[in-house]
Chain A
Amino acid sequence: MRITADLDRCVGAGQCVLTEPAVFDQSDDDGTVVVIDGAPEDEETIDRVREAVHLCPSRALTLAEPTSTP
């Protein structure tokens, strides 16, 4: 699982931080998202990240599912 954030799209609404503060934070400067943990492994955390992706109003977040297992 890899989280990517498109800072050009992010509008700093903070929905992601509200949903999973262990993974997302906001820059003090311009309020855009800061991904603290780009590859969480815990299933519950990943579920909340999925929710954050759904809630993000600017569709700035993507969660890349692993394509294959080695």
Chain B
Amino acid sequence: MTASPTLPLKRTCPYAPPAEHVALQRQERVTRVRLPDGSSAWALSRLDDIRTMLTDPRFSSDRRREGYPLQTPGPPRRATERPTLIGLDPPEHGAARRAVVGEFTIKQMNALRPRIQQIVDERVDAMLAGPRPADLVSALALPVPSLVICELLGVPYAEHDFFQDRSARLLLRSVPPQERFAAANDIREYMATLIAEKAKNPAEDLLSRQLAKGADQEELAGLGFLLLLAGHETTGNMISLGTMTLLERPEALAGLKADPTVTPQVVEELLRYFTIAEYVTSRIAVADVELGGVLIRAGEGVITLANVANRDPAAFTDGDTFDIGRAARHHVAFGFGAHQCLGQNLARVELQIVFDTLFGRIPELRLAVTADELSFKDDSDVYGLHSLPVTW
């Protein structure tokens, strides 16, 4: 038995989970890990156990609970602080989710396709008109999801520098807790002002529609904050990581170019392969629960090592291989259970359009540096690339 590792651990290879996580999965079904504040938590690394845990109401998402397993210690949560959707438990969670999920149905997302296509085309035009090499992250990967979510919410895109700066700082583990707290406050205050403004002058956007349905302004500010943050970085990181991966794997790229009907499957495989946001699916037990052969006691934290679980040999054949022929939709890169990503079908549509357009319009696209010169966000709660120099 080896000593319990302290989380979070860094990925040393962008295409693989941290070696220690892999070791944990091989070691025992459920293992103990240490957290930066010195406490311990349980770690799940099998897909089936994670799916079971995330659908069990005896595990709570309420980050204000004493002992909630935080991999990036933040300032203490005030008990009076109202959690947003992601931190709610039933029955409040169901009501809050149902109030907004109608905005994110497959039908709604498909209706957004033409507009998203337009946004992507404009960014590709601008990139082609600009100097070579270009940084794909700032030219395309970040602006696209950012423009889309701002438009959907009714947030002026002119403010996007402000949001991008604050949301990036919020997710960086090396930024001191107080500073991250201040970044969050900045966004929250901005949202509150914007929503008060929309209450007076409603427009054709999600925030105005929620107000018209009688949403509480403070709660809506929390939701707007969450949507902006969650809709920003995550998809952007998948665009840059996906582009890198496809440029590095000519066979997969040829497969994508040859048959546009495989794009959705390529996107699922990329989501599975990188599992960029595994830290959010941690929970705290609110009752004693037997899971995977151990007794998890009320008050103990549970961490999901979703990246290794998304390569679990019991669920994926040859999981360490990137394979665009794989049917990968049972991955947990969007989580599982009642909190499974609200924006997943928006993210899917954005990623599908971006890859089809980018490789369709710039067939000569290639990396402008060697792969080992790339710099990864291994210090962030959401994995990604800082920049991706490309040329054509």
Chain A residues within 8 Å of B, Cβ to Cβ: 8-9, 11-15, 17-19, 21, 25-32, 54-55, 57-59
B residues in contact with A58, CB < 8 Å: 55, 337-338, 340
- For the complex, is B107 an interface residue (Cβ under 8 Å from A)? yes
The binding surface of chain A is classed by DSSP as: loop
Whether the Cβ atoms of B55 and A17 lie closer than 8 Å is: no
Whether the Cβ atoms of B94 and A28 lie closer than 8 Å is: no
Closest beta carbon of chain A to B328's beta carbon, Å: 11
The closest CB in chain A to the CB of B340 belongs to A57
Whether the Cβ atoms of A14 and B55 lie closer than 8 Å is: no
Give the contacting residue for B101; candidates A8, A9, A15, A31; CB below 8 A.
A31
Cα distance, A63 to B47, chains bound together (Å) = 22
The closest CB in chain B to the CB of A14 belongs to B106
Whether the Cβ atoms of A30 and B337 lie closer than 8 Å is: no
- For the complex, is B98 an interface residue (Cβ under 8 Å from A)? yes
- For the complex, is B76 an interface residue (Cβ under 8 Å from A)? no
The closest CB in chain B to the CB of A28 belongs to B102
Cα distance, A9 to B330, chains bound together (Å) = 19
Whether the Cβ atoms of A11 and B55 lie closer than 8 Å is: no
Whether the Cβ atoms of A26 and B340 lie closer than 8 Å is: no
Give the contacting residue for A12; candidates B98, B330, B334, B336; CB below 8 A.
B98
- For the complex, is B188 an interface residue (Cβ under 8 Å from A)? no
Cα distance, A14 to B102, chains bound together (Å) = 10
Closest beta carbon of chain B to A8's beta carbon, Å: 7
B residues in contact with A19, CB < 8 Å: 329
Cα distance, A5 to B344, chains bound together (Å) = 21
Cα distance, A12 to B103, chains bound together (Å) = 10
Whether the Cβ atoms of B55 and A12 lie closer than 8 Å is: no
The closest CB in chain A to the CB of B51 belongs to A57
The closest CB in chain A to the CB of B341 belongs to A13
Q: Give me 18 other A-B pairs in contact (C-beta within 8 A), A12-B104, A13-B341 excluded.
A: A11-B94, A11-B338, A11-B340, A12-B102, A13-B344, A14-B104, A14-B105, A14-B106, A17-B106, A18-B329, A19-B329, A26-B107, A28-B102, A28-B105, A28-B107, A31-B104, A55-B330, A59-B55
Cα distance, A54 to B54, chains bound together (Å) = 14
- For the complex, is B97 an interface residue (Cβ under 8 Å from A)? yes
Scoring B residues 70 to 99 as 1 if CB is less than 8 Å from chain A, else 0, what string do you get?
A: 000000000000000000000000100111
